[in-house]
Amino acid sequence: MDEAMKARLARTLHEQRSTLAGVVRARLHAAGPDAAVGLANCYAEDDAAQADLLGEHDLAMLHQECRQLEAVELALARLADGSYGRCVHCGQPVSPARLQAQPSAALCLECQQDSERRYQVRPL
């Protein structure tokens, strides 16, 4: 991956981070101060309590947005430490086309498909 492409993807990741952070903040704000406290940790164990505060649909959206935000944060961290563009699992380069479609991709296509088969995890 050349430096120009890396710079472009970095810009996209920064934009995605501020967009997602804004979306999460707005959702928490709309839910009110009590909910914001209860949801401060997106990955809190107590899903039932969170659902009471937000409603099932909003909670599902929030979880999705938090996961995306986390993926973007991790990609930015990899950019900073120089490991960006390599699969975090096998260390092989992630294809440029894949990174362009999804700059926060942490896995190469092969590992992604493998993990989906194994854990039935939806890609971010």
Q: Which residues of the chain form contacts with Zn ion (CB under 5 A)?
A: 87, 89-90, 108, 111
CB of 112 to Zn ion, least distance (A): 8
* CB distance 61 to 6 below 8 Å: no
Q: Which one, 48 or 101, has the nearer CB to Zn ion?
A: 101
Cα distances from 4 to residues 22, 85, 107, 111, in angstroms, run: 27, 13, 21, 26
CB of 87 to Zn ion, least distance (A): 3
* CB distance 94 to 107 below 8 Å: yes
CB of 22 to Zn ion, least distance (A): 32
Cα distances from 23 to residues 29, 45, 65, 75, in angstroms, run: 10, 22, 8, 19
Q: Which one, 39 or 108, has the nearer CB to Zn ion?
A: 108
Q: Which one, 39 or 105, has the nearer CB to Zn ion?
A: 105
Q: Residue 61 burial (CB < 10 Å; 0-12/13-18/19+)?
A: middle
CB of 49 to Zn ion, least distance (A): 37
Q: Which one, 43 or 119, has the nearer CB to Zn ion?
A: 119
